Structure 1
Amino acid sequence: MHDLYDIERVVPHRGTLRLVDRLVAWDEDSVAVELRVPHEGPFSHAEGVPAWVGVEYMAQAIAAWAGCRARSAGREPSIGFLLGTRRYESRVTWFVAGALLRVEATRELLGDNGLGMFRCRILEDGDELATANVSVFEPPDAMAYLESTTQ
């Protein structure tokens, strides 16, 4: 069984921009995190949180997976990039404030160049609310990559 790290140790997002609350499980190919949909926050409305924010929930679940892999190898988690999604489908328009959501991501592909594709879903009480395929990129040196793209 893999160590269940504190979410702060594996996800680089901080403050109100960290949208996932807890690492539930992870292995070499998948991860599960939980979050309580906030009543107040950068995406909160009277109706809850818009379903399109689910893409970021999925991206942060993938970040947790990458962070867990880094920690288990004795490295610090690095910065990754959300490249896009395919077929994001949601059965709901809003995630209701106070709801406990489980976000799962399963690795479909991960290249040596840092490009990856994950099959993701968001559940509430076992009911699937949203699904997508999420593309990500984790360069070997994120800061060098960022500097090279701004020149």
Structure 2
Amino acid sequence: MSKELPDIGNLVRHRGPMLLIDRLIEASEIHAVGEVLISEASSFFKPGRGVPAYVGLEYMAQTVATFDGARRVATGEAPAIGFLLGTRRYAATRGYFLAGELLSIRAEMIFNEGGMASFDCTVSVGDEPRASATLNVYRPENGEFASTGNIA
């Protein structure tokens, strides 16, 4: 993949207030890293509190989608729709992501076969992990991850 990463709107099918990831900052054959700056304008923001930590699950899922979108865009394909099948061990260190925090969301592929894949994901602020989970995902179309499998 080229060092110049595409705009987030070209990598995922989400639009408007449901596009929660601000940008893709890193991608390889096995991982992607997205960023989100938490502000009062962030979707799901609760004044005086921030964005509930459970939204981190969707930040992770959309980072997985950017992983697949980047692979597809690199081969001239459009982003595909995928499905979050489930998660294991979602854990957050606190109840909210705070205004002004720059979140880094890392999704690392650990399994990929026949349209199903699994990713270890973390949401961090600086070097401090704030949430983690394993996501299981599925992309039902014929497309494949650039290296070995399927997904979005």
**Structure-1-length-normalised TM-score:** 0.89
Query: Following the alignment from structure 1 to structure 2, what is the Cα–Cα distance between the partners of residues 12 and 114?
Result: 18
Q: Does 1:119 align with 2:115?
A: no
Q: What amino acid maps onto 1:33 in structure 2?
A: G
Q: What amino acid maps onto 1:98 in structure 2?
A: G
Which secondary structure state, in structure 2, belongs to the residue aligned with residue 69 of structure 1? Answer: helix
Q: Aligned to 1:83, which of 82, 85, 88?
A: 85
Deviation (angstroms), 1:43: 1.1
Equivalent residue for 2:46?
A: 45
Q: Aligned to 2:63, which of 57, 61, 86?
A: 61
Regions of 4+ moved over 3 Å: none
Equivalent residue for 1:96?
A: 98
Query: Following the alignment from structure 2 to structure 1, what is the Cα–Cα distance between the partners of residues 88 and 139?
Result: 19
Percent of residue pairs bearing the same amino acid type: 38
Deviation (angstroms), 1:41: 4.3
Q: Kindly indicate whether the alpha-carbon contact (under 8 Å) linking 2:20 and 2:43 is maintained by their aligned counterparts in 1.
A: no
Give per-residue Cα distances to partners, 1:22-81, cap 9 Å, x unaligned.
Answer: 110001100001011131344110200100000000000000000001011111110001
Deviation (angstroms), 1:103: 0.2
Equivalent residue for 1:148?
A: none
RMSD of equivalent CA atoms? 1.5
Query: Following the alignment from structure 1 to structure 2, what is the Cα–Cα distance between the partners of residues 139 and 114?
Result: 6
**Structure-2-length-normalised TM-score:** 0.88
User: Which structure 1 segments of 5+ residues have no match?
Assistant: 143-151
User: Which structure 2 segments of 5+ residues have no match?
Assistant: 144-152
